[in-house]
A and B are shown apart, each in its own frame.
Chain A
Amino acid sequence: MTCQVRQGTTCTCRPSNPLPTNIVKDTTSFLHMAMWFARSRNLVSSLRQNLGLSAILIKRNHSSPRPVFTNYELSSKVFLDPSTSFRHESTAVESQPDLVQQSDHEDDAQELDFPGGKVGYTSEMKFIPESSSRRIPCYRVLNEHGKIISDSDFIPVSEKLAVRMYEQMATLQVMDHIFYEAQRQGRISFYLTSVGEEAINIASAAALSPEDVVLPQYREPGVLLWRGFTLEEFANQCFGNKADYGKGRQMPIHYGSNQHNYFTVSSPIATQLPQAAGVGYALKMEKKNACAVTFIGDGGTSEGDFHAGLNFAAVMEAPVVFICRNNGWAISTHISEQFRSDGIVVKGQAYGIRSIRVDGNDALAVYSAVRSAREMAVTEQRPVLIEAMTYRVGHHSTSDDSTKYREADEIQYWKMSRNPVNRFKKWVQDNGWWSEEDESKLRSSTRKQLLQAIQAAEKWEKQPLTELFNDVYDVKTKNLEEQEVGLKALVEKQPQDYPTGFHI
């Protein structure tokens, strides 16, 4: 029911739709709504006609005005006080043009009119603290022992879904291990693992619909795995063979599949974020029951494209779910060297974006959060930000040795005691849905399948040389045709200077 009025358009929200209860309880959301309301004059005038809305949102308080912020804590007092940031009832301010309807509210004189809407004023000079006294808490459902914490809000997961989620998390683990080893053996040139982030990968994918368009960073192959990309297809891309959909043009792990609505990975960081806003907007215009979902690491949030992406998604009211995997490290840069804020979740509000911090190693929490965020994004046509707290257990990539900049003990701790796969496994096992026999069967068959996939991919024919020149444009241009002719002649003349197997 939150009103999405953009400048110049008419508000068409129906105030009779009740707020979902989790939103009503959340005082943070009031500020979001408050700030939206304060901004638009059209909204003000249309809300005049929908006074029912005001009855739901505002608890009228005729006491004397208070300063806008006493501290950075988002206490309910601040929001429900009508002298603070939002007012959708008009005020008659002396000697100002009557832009909105007259009202005889006694706090009229306590506000100032600016282009962004009305703001209360204060004579007390008070700076908003650089940080809250309390960090934004982390939403979690399962404790470390895989038991559901009592009174948890969460969306129930069926046995079928839970088992599939677990299987995929385990598959991802095995896949990562084997491909990593293949790189070490020199069989593929590069690899990067998602070890420690299996819950984010799989649970988020499980919470989406197949029509949701995913724009990954590069540590989310589990989303593609969930959607049905086969181990053979992963292997083909890593080997860049003739069966690789990417036609061997990019480094390993730069997967992409239009069939699975998974945009091709690109190495530059955060470039996918403003693109996701555009994708979300396209889906909105097509009135699809789908949203854009895009991933970013903690490091990526420092990029300008993070700012651009969130701001555009918010202004354009695009259905986008931004999922930040805060895994503590951007290669060797710890988050203490990345930002001074309370992580990423607090940045959402700066853009007018609803946000949540979730335990990224808790598959049930991730599932619930992503599922809810997705629903909000689609039904309310708005972006949502999720910060999933986790840890990058593996090295940044096969080109990295993280023991050079962090303690081996730290890595070990997260690998063993805070392992998201084990944690979810406990829950699934406790429900009687998974046995050790299932476990060994799954792991050995997946391992076998992967080894076969690698062997097959390795032997597979290479891409024909012409693929070097295709797809630069939709149609090969003259200069490329000439260069291809020249290169072919050269390769035929001096084949010893070139790798073999590339069919001319």
Chain B
Amino acid sequence: MASLLGRFCRKLVVPGSAHGSRMTSTTACGSETVKSLNLYSAINQALHIALETDPRSYVFGEDVGFGGVFRCTTGLAERFGKNRVFNTPLCEQGIVGFGIGLAAMGNRAVVEIQFADYIYPAFDQIVNEAAKFRYRSGNQFNCGGLTIRAPYGAVGHGGHYHSQSPEAFFCHVPGIKVVIPRSPREAKGLLLSSIRDPNPVVFFEPKWLYRQAVEEVPEHDYMIPLSQAEVIREGSDITLVGWGAQLTVMEQACLDAEKEGISCELIDLKTLLPWDKETVEASVKKTGRLLISHEAPITGGFGAEISATILERCFLKLEAPVSRVCGLDTPFPLVFEPFYMPTKNKASSSSSLSSPSKNTHFLIHGFSRLL
């Protein structure tokens, strides 16, 4: 145990794993074996299970055959054959279009886009075709078997084209689902749910966590439900909502805030579309404050949707304006990355500071220092 903890200390502490988080859906039976895995290994395990349990499933994309540039598809081609696991030409619109065709014929197509930054050529196929395939046909056809996986987010040195968080574009498209896991254990369960969900899913994997995050991951076949947010840390003073790698940052902020006596409730949204409004609403009605954080640029980011919805539902319970701590409105910069990122030390937006209430003064003052 100590050696495991020692190993953890060199990696990021995975949010929700160190504390007794409410794992409402994963079964951690004593008899089930778990293994310490990083994110890409957990994804790999999910893919192995997906292909094993459905002979009509396929995994493909650029460089998928040898294991993928992030090792997520290691061993799949050797085990399941090149008819089911294969490289494609370098063409995202072709990858997704081909996947739609396979899925429309009742297969599961788990396609990989090498970096979320390169998903845009496939945007037409995703928005105009995959998202509308069932609806426009009157449910005669569907491509629910399609899952699009893409590494997203900051990696420390990625610059404009290896760091993007494009989730907001896809959250605006009725007909698809958008899922973002925060950790290895979550990723395996959410990916299996996404693959098996009868709707096309865009699954963004925080590339920063591929190697950095290590967690005990059950070895069996398990699924984590979509569209269910999780309170990974309970608190009473402020609600924080995030997804993916940002939760690691936010959990650090929560720990720091705790030292100042601020009790933070941290929620992992997991599924951004359709998102679990009820869990966030219940939390904010309890705490009276909301802070949303994401790496993507603040303007038009998904935080705006959460903010607007919560304002509609919880206005009278709010003690301060909803705060968003996000990336700047710039292309993702290289040398300026540390300045761009919504780090735990960044001040929360001025709306939190403008609340005049006396008995919340200490809370706001303290918290703004910490975030």
**Chain A interface (Cβ < 8 Å from any Cβ of B):** 6, 8-9, 213, 215, 244-247, 249-250, 254, 256-258, 263-264, 266, 268, 271, 273-283, 285-286, 292, 304-305, 307-309, 311-312, 315-316, 470-474, 477-479
Q: Which residue of B lies closest to A244 (CB)?
A: B138
Q: How far is the CA of A389 from the CA of B97 in the complex (A)?
A: 27
* Residue of A304, A312, A477 touching B88 (CB-CB under 8 A): A312
Query: What does the 1/0 interface line of B45-85 toward A look like (CB < 8 Å)?
Result: 00000000000100000000000000000000000001100
Indicate if the CB atoms of A275 and B104 lie closer than 8 Å: yes
19 A-B residue pairs with Cβ-Cβ distance under 8 Å, sorted by A, are A9-B82, A215-B101, A258-B140, A271-B124, A274-B93, A274-B97, A278-B98, A282-B102, A283-B105, A308-B91, A308-B94, A312-B91, A312-B98, A315-B89, A471-B135, A472-B135, A472-B175, A473-B177, A474-B134
Indicate if the CB atoms of B93 and A305 lie closer than 8 Å: yes
Q: Supply 11 further A-B pairs (C-beta < 8 A) apart from A278-B98, A308-B89, A471-B135.
A: A246-B138, A247-B138, A249-B136, A256-B136, A275-B104, A279-B102, A280-B101, A282-B102, A305-B93, A471-B134, A479-B277
Q: Taking A277-B98, A316-B98 as contacts, is the C-beta distance between A477 and B274 under 8 angstroms?
A: yes
Q: Is B17 an interface residue (CB 8 A)?
A: no
User: Smallest Cβ distance from B194 to chain A, in angstroms?
Assistant: 13
* Chain A residues with CB below 8 A from B132, complex form: 266
Q: How far is the CA of A279 from the CA of B140 in the complex (A)?
A: 16
* Chain B residues with CB below 8 A from A249, complex form: 135-136, 138
* Chain A residues with CB below 8 A from B109, complex form: 278
Q: Is B261 an interface residue (CB 8 A)?
A: no
Indicate if the CB atoms of B89 and A273 lie closer than 8 Å: no
Indicate if the CB atoms of B102 and A268 lie closer than 8 Å: no
* Residue of A8, A247, A271 touching B129 (CB-CB under 8 A): A271
Q: Which residue of A lies closest to B139 (CB)?
A: A471
User: Smallest Cβ distance from B120 to chain A, in angstroms?
Assistant: 12
Indicate if the CB atoms of B89 and A264 lie closer than 8 Å: no
User: Smallest Cβ distance from A245 to chain B, in angstroms?
Assistant: 5
Q: Is B137 an interface residue (CB 8 A)?
A: yes
* Chain B residues with CB below 8 A from A263, complex form: 104, 137, 141
Q: Which residue of A lies closest to B100 (CB)?
A: A275
* Chain A residues with CB below 8 A from B140, complex form: 245-246, 256-258, 264
Indicate if the CB atoms of B101 and A282 lie closer than 8 Å: yes
Query: What does the 1/0 interface line of B267-284 toward A look like (CB < 8 Å)?
Result: 000000010011000000
* Residue of A245, A246, A275, A282 touching B97 (CB-CB under 8 A): A275
* Residue of B121, B174, B278 touching A304 (CB-CB under 8 A): B121
Q: Is B125 an interface residue (CB 8 A)?
A: yes
User: Smallest Cβ distance from B170 to chain A, in angstroms?
Assistant: 14
Q: Which residue of A lies closest to B128 (CB)?
A: A268
* Residue of B102, B141, B175 touching A264 (CB-CB under 8 A): B141
* Chain B residues with CB below 8 A from A258, complex form: 137, 140-141
Q: Is B184 an interface residue (CB 8 A)?
A: no
Task: Count A-B contacts at CB 8 Å.
Answer: 154
Indicate if the CB atoms of A246 and B89 lie closer than 8 Å: no
* Chain A residues with CB below 8 A from B106, complex form: 282
Q: How far is the CA of A352 from the CA of B102 in the complex (A)?
A: 22
What number of B residues sit within 8 Å (CB to CB) of A?
48
Q: Is B343 an interface residue (CB 8 A)?
A: no
Query: What does the 1/0 interface line of B88-119 toward A look like (CB < 8 Å)?
Result: 11010110111111111111010000000000
Which among A9, A280, A473 has the greatest number of chain B C-beta atoms within 10 A? A473
Indicate if the CB atoms of A292 and B101 lie closer than 8 Å: yes
Q: Which residue of A lies closest to B99 (CB)?
A: A278
* Chain A residues with CB below 8 A from B138, complex form: 244-247, 249, 256, 264, 471
Query: What does the 1/0 interface line of B312-351 toward A look like (CB < 8 Å)?
Result: 0000000000000000000000000000000000000000
Q: How far is the CA of A254 from the CA of B140 in the complex (A)?
A: 13
* Residue of A246, A277, A473, A478 touching B101 (CB-CB under 8 A): A277
* Chain A residues with CB below 8 A from B93, complex form: 274, 304-305, 308
Query: What does the 1/0 interface line of B125-160 toward A look like (CB < 8 Å)?
Result: 100110011111111111010000000000000000
Q: Is B199 an interface residue (CB 8 A)?
A: yes
Indicate if the CB atoms of B94 and A309 lie closer than 8 Å: yes
Indicate if the CB atoms of B136 and A275 lie closer than 8 Å: no
Indicate if the CB atoms of B94 and A473 lie closer than 8 Å: no
Q: How far is the CA of A356 from the CA of B198 in the complex (A)?
A: 40
* Residue of A8, A247, A273, A281 touching B102 (CB-CB under 8 A): A281
User: Smallest Cβ distance from B130 to chain A, in angstroms?
Assistant: 10
Q: How far is the CA of A278 from the CA of B83 in the complex (A)?
A: 13
Q: Which 5 A-B pairs have the closest CB atoms?
A: A278-B101, A274-B97, A308-B94, A282-B105, A275-B101
Q: Is B227 an interface residue (CB 8 A)?
A: yes
User: Smallest Cβ distance from B97 to chain A, in angstroms?
Assistant: 3
Q: How far is the CA of A220 from the CA of B104 in the complex (A)?
A: 20
